[in-house]
Structures are given as C-alpha cells and as structure tokens.
Structure 1
Amino acid sequence: MSEHAAPRNGGPAAPGAREHAAKSVTAVRAGFVGLGQMGEPMARRLLGRDGGLVVCDVRPEAVRPFAEAGARTGADPAAVAAAADVILVMVRDDAQVREVVAAMLPAAARGTVIAIHSTIADGTAEELAARAGPYGVEIADAPVSGGFMGAHEGNLAVMLGASEAAAERCRAVFGAWAGLIVRVGPPGAGTRAKLARNLLQFVAFAAAFEAQRLAEAAGVHLRDLARVVRHSDAVTGGPGAIMIRDTTAPAPEGDPLRDILLHTRALAEKDLSLALDLAADLDVDVPLARISRARFARDLGVPHP
C-alpha cells in the first residue's frame, strides 16, 4: 500500500508525489467517522475489503468491535484523514459535520474525498466544498435513504452530489452497503434531493395518519388496512409510481403519458371526493385530502381547462 506523498495543508505537490487519484480502485483505503445507528452497519460492511478500514467515534464502545474485527482505529477525525483515501462521515448535524471536516482537512492528502452522509443544509455542503478546494480535497455530498433497515441489509440508496471524479472514487466504497447510487449533481445537489425525498416520506406519513383516522371512525380495523396498504404499495410502487415524468409542467397534447395522466386524474378525483363525503358524514377532519382534491389535476400535469 503506497504512502501519502502529497504534502499537507493544500500546498504544492512535491516532485514525484503521488495523489490519491493514482491509486487502484480496489486498493482505496476507507475511513469512517461516526458509528451510530446508521454508521455502524454501514461501516461493518466495509470490514475485510481491499484497502482496509480505519474508524473513529467519540464512544470507545462503538469502536471496540471494529478493532476486534481487524479495522484500524483513529484517535480523532484527523487520524482517520491521515490514513484513508475516501472518508465517510455519518454524524448528527451541520455543526458536527463542520467540526469533523475542519479537523480532517489539514491532515488529508491531496485527492482525498470526504463523503458526508449526514442530512445537512445544502448550503453547508457547498460551503465545505469551497473550504476543501485549497487543500486539494473533494467533498461528496452523499445523504442516504432506506433507514437503519437498509443499512443493515446493505441496500441503501445514495443521492450523490460530487464531481464525476469524486463520484467514481466513492462508488468503489459505497457499493459495499448501497443498492443504488445516483449522482444528482455537484455538492449540495445530494442534500437537495434528500430533502425532497424526505418531504415525500413525511407528508406521506401524515396522509397515512389521516387515512387511519377515517378508517377508524368508519369501523375498519387499522391492522387490516395496514396489511392492504403494504401489499398494494409493494405491487404498485406507492407514491413513487407517479414519478414518471421529467418535468412538473403541464403535459401538452401529444405527450405519450397524457392519456395515463388523465385516467389517473379521473380516478383520483372520484375516490378523493368519495373519501371527503365519508369524512363529512363521520365528522373526521381530513385537510390533506381536501388539499389533494383541489390540487391533484394541476399537480399531476393535467389541469382542468
């Protein structure tokens, strides 16, 4: 395994110095900072890979099992940065991400990629990318979706905001725990995609609560309803099934999807109207259903004339 020959602190490379970009993909050295509920199962899937693994966490009890399994340990993020080519960061929030990255930049060799998996503000990712530039370090804005279940199963989705070169280096490491890696643009774009994805998730949760209130008032057993929802969503794809267009603009005449959208509009407006009638009869407040009924045609891309 080659030593880092590039100087620290973003200075000019010494004659004959080799940067990380010259390293074989299979020999990329991985680092992981933050071994919590998500980070621990992600990092565990990196054990035993070519290039090795170095880990760090403020809790010694989180680091100990990795050391016993053969991983190197770093006393702090700077130690990880000095020993890794691609460093994965899964800490709590923007403040912790800034603190960790600030500690790593002076210790990282030119060509290092720092991949941030924490959900942060998109402006933070852009800020850190600009701060890392003079060091010759790249920031990959790489939030994940799939929860701790996906982390344990090695089937997370990654929304990757990074340069093409940094994205390629990340794929060599992310593939150990990701089932889908989508480069969505430069740093900041990954977080913007994650926020949109989470908006869908939690608004859908709110809609599920509203549907449960209506079902409960109507005398439907909630566990029976839940079984039907999970089964049919597994077949149809759930809310994601409607995400089939490249734009949210109205679908013009001649659009090959227009007939499908018109059919969907008719079904939705009929069923939402029936649900609203039932809610009125049972005196159940369903604000999301009212909003959906009012906006569905426009949002679907086939507004009424």
Structure 2
Amino acid sequence: MSDPHLGFIGLGQIGAPMAKRWCDHPGGLTVFDVVEAATAPFAERGAHVAASPAGVAERATVISLMVRDDAQVREVMSGPDGILATASNGTVVIIHSTVEADTPAEIAALCKPHGVAVLDAPVSGGAMGAHEGTLALMVGGDAEAVALATPALERLGTLVAHLGPIGAGTRAKLARNLITFASFAAVGEASRLAEAAGVDLAKLGEVVRHSDRVTGGPGAIMLRGTAGPLPADDGLRPIFEHTRGLGEKDLTLAIGLGAELGVETPVARQAFDQLGAALGVPHRHSLDTDNPDEGDDR
C-alpha cells in the first residue's frame, strides 16, 4: 500500500488540475467524469479512464471526489454504478466537495459495513492553488485513513491539516469561506466609499493585496485556541486591545466619511459593534462619528 492506485472523480475547474498532479504517481491513476471530453487529457498522459465511479473503485484504493454537491457525492458513492458497488475492503474515499456539515459522517456510516473509510478534505486556494499544487487541505477523519491518504494529498497542496474526526474538514471549510465572503462584502462597501471619495479603485486593490501579503490579512489574528475572551494575563491581550482601539477609531472615521458622502456603511457599523469580541477583548463602547477620538474604554 506504499504506492496505492489512485482514483479521481470530478474533473472540473478545480478537480482537473488537482488530478493532473497525480498523473505521474507510481501506483497509477484512474479517472472518471460525466463529461467525456474532460477525461481526454488524462488518457493522453497515461491515466486509465473508467466508465463509471464503480470502474474507478475496481482499480483504485485511494479515491478523491470533487463533484458539485451533496446529491452528487451520494450518487457517486452509493448509486447503481457507484464506488460501493465494487470498492475493496480498505479503500479510502476522500471528499473534497464543499457539502453540508453532517454529510461526511453520514457517508462514512454508509461505507463502514463495506470496509471503506471516508475522509472529508475540502480545499482552499482556488484554481490557482490547484494548478500550482499549493492548496490547503482541511482533513477530517480517522488517523489511520489520514496516514494512508497523506502522501497523495501532499501532491495536491503545501498544507495538509488534519483537524479532527470525520466532518471536521468540512466544518473548517465553512468557517474559512465565511471569512472569504464576508470580506468580499466589506470590499464592496469599501469600494463604494472609496469611489465616492474619488479614489482610484484599481490602485487601491493593489494596496490591499500588497498589505495583505505583508500582514497575513484576516488570518493574522487567528492565533488562539479559543474564540472566547482573552484572560487578563494573556500576552496577546495588550496587543489586541491596541488593535481594537485602532480599529474602532478607523471604522468610526470610515463611517463618518460615508455619512458625509451619502454612502451607506452597514458592514462597517457591524464591524465596529463586533470587533472587540472578535479579538477576544470585548468592552463597552459607543459609536460617535462627530467625536471619533471619544468613547468608552477606547
């Protein structure tokens, strides 16, 4: 099992570049996609093309799925031509699709009588990370199955994080995507504010990308093992209290600018309300756009 035969099902925008990183795997690769044209580049590179998920499981003992949604995951696993129709005892199936939080555990329970282990390993890094092999993989599942799958997963990304039992990877991905899309909403609001103020948005985008590379962006404050308030003697507390003060001051100024320019800033107002708790240093505070340097415990 040092070089298990690998399988990949779902050769879309993310799945195809991921699977291509397995084409030179010593144990071989079998692929399947409902779109026949998607498999042609793999056949040209020496991979076996199966006619169904069951055909993949006839050959492969470590199988990745990157399909669209929960329904497709279930069909690929337990449909008439699904993996469980042919999978051998000891097979490991890795679900990369972003699905509902409880789906991986439900699939694992379905597979257990067949001797098939399931991991959930959604990815972060997008198409660029898939092409470059720099994805982050958030893995949930049994340690033995994770150990078996890790050499293959390490070909796909530069960070393979085992986060806990089955389902932990999916829960982590949902939390990670909350950061992404909430940030996008903030970008929309900030762009409207900057545009109304006459700022060049393309150049502002360059500044944001540059500074995020330096500071680490939102992940820079994710240094703690709990989301609760920081103890009084925690070394991070004075740093985060300082960050809270700066943030509340600058958010107040942005909200004030929005009021001056007639730009609504609901994201900024919610950020002002929640910033202290997010940093683990909640406190009594008030929003005063007329006197931005004044307030409770700034």
- TM-score, reference length from structure 2: 0.93
| RMSD value, Cα | 0.9
Q: Deviations over 1:6-35 (max 9, x none)?
A: xxxxxxxxxxxxxxxxx2x2x111000111
Residues in 2 aligned to 1:232 and 1:116: alpha-carbon distance in whole angstroms: 34
Q: Report if aligned partners of 1:106, 1:135 keep a CA contact under 8 Å in 2.
A: no
Distance in 2 of aligned mates of 1:295 and 1:117: 32
Structure 1 distance, partners of 2:131, 2:165, is 28
The residue aligned with 1:206 is: 185
Are 2:37 and 1:61 equivalent residues in the alignment? yes
Question: Are residue 41 (structure 1) and residue 20 (structure 2) matched?
Answer: no
SS at match of 2:31: strand
Q: For the residues of structure 1 that align with 2:34 and 2:275, how far apart are their CA atoms?
A: 48
Aligned position for 2:296: none
- Matched residue, 2:83: 104
Does structure 1 residue 168 correspond to structure 2 residue 147?
yes
Give the equivalent residue in structure 1 for 2:62. Answer: 86
**DSSP-derived class of the 1:299 partner:** helix
Q: Does 1:119 pair with 2:98?
A: yes
2:130 pairs with 1:154 = no
The Cα shift of 1:271 comes to: 0.6
For this pair of structures, how many residues does the alignment match?
Answer: 281
**Of the candidates 162, 171, 182, which is equivalent to residue 183 of structure 1?**
162
Q: For the residues of structure 1 that align with 2:245 and 2:255, how far apart are their CA atoms? A: 15
Please report the TM-score for the alignment, with normalisation by the length of structure 1. Answer: 0.91
**1:297 Cα offset (Å):** 1.3
- Runs of 4+ aligned structure 1 residues displaced above 6 Å come to none
Maintained 8 Å contact 1:28/1:172? no
The CA deviation at 1:185 is: 1.1
Q: Output the CA distance in 2 between the equivalents of 1:176 and 1:111.
A: 21
Quote how far apart the aligned CAs of 1:148 are: 0.5
User: Structure 2: any 5+ residue segments left out of the alignment?
Assistant: 285-298
User: How far apart in 1 are the matches of 2:72 and 2:277?
Assistant: 41
1:106-164 per-position Cα deviation (integer Å, ceiling 9, x unaligned)? 31011000001111112111100000000000011111111101000111110001100
What one-letter code is carried by the residue in structure 1 that aligns with 2:223?
A: I
Cα distance in 2 between the residues matched to 1:234 and 1:193: 22
> CA–CA distance in 1 between the matches of 2:247 and 2:35?
51
| Residue 197 of structure 1: how far off its partner (Å) | 0.3
In 1, distance between residues paired with 2:121 and 2:87? 19
1:289 and 2:265 equivalent? no
**CA–CA distance in structure 2, aligned partners of residues 186 and 61 of structure 1:** 36
Matches within 5 A, 1:1-40: 23=1, 25=2, 27-40=3-16
Counterpart amino acid of residue 239 in structure 1? P
Taking the TM superposition and a 5 Å limit, the aligned residue runs for 1:140-289 are: 140-289=119-268
Instruction: State whether structure 2 residue 30 is matched by structure 1 residue 51.
Output: no
| 1:253 positional shift | 1.0
Consecutive unaligned residues of structure 1, counting only runs of 5 or more, are 1-22
User: Percent identical across equivalent pairs?
Assistant: 54
Is 1:56–1:76's contact at 8 Å kept on the other side of the alignment?
Answer: yes
